[in-house]
Chain A
Amino acid sequence: MAETIVFEPLQRRYVIARTAITGALTLVVAVAATATVLFVAPETWRQGLIAVVLLPGMPLLTYLSCNRRGYALREHDIALRKGVFWQRQVIQPFVRIQHIELARGPLEKRLELAGLRIFSAGTGAETMTIPGLNLATAQRIRSHLLDAQNT
Chain B
Amino acid sequence: MDAPAQQITLTHSAGSGAPVVWLHADDKTPAAVALLTQHFRVLGFTIAHTTSIQADAVANAIGPHASEPVGLIADAANAHAALSLAAARPDLVRALALIAPAVPEKLLEEFKTPVMALFGTRDASAHIGRSMREVISGCHLMFVYDTDHDMANQRPEAVEAILREFLIAGDRFLVTSKSSKIYP
A binds B: no
